[in-house]
Structure 1
């Protein structure tokens, strides 16, 4: 029963996310993605648990 409930919640979550504006159009607030120094892996901008479907970071233009 727990698995069925988890599956239902997972599907509801992604259905909800589908109605949000695209990540490129979302507002990035000052408290999001605070970095005092770059990470030593990858491009230095993304955390170890970065998910491109959910997380976003606008580079300063």
Structure 2
């Protein structure tokens, strides 16, 4: 949230960290409403993708 209380989108680095630690199903409040990280950051690369590469 911004200083005025408005919902802000997390920066790119924060989005990646949220995705890596919260997973695809993590719920995020956005200006467009509640979304999963998978919806908010489509095509993201996560820890499970490393397992697929082995």
TM-score bracket for the superposition, by shorter chain length: under 0.3
Q: Tell which structure's C-alpha radius of gyration is larger.
A: 1
Structure in which a larger fraction of residues adopt helix: 2
> TM-score scaled by structure 1?
0.23
Structure in which a larger fraction of residues adopt strand: 2
Q: Which has the higher contact order (CA 8 A, sep 6+)?
A: 1
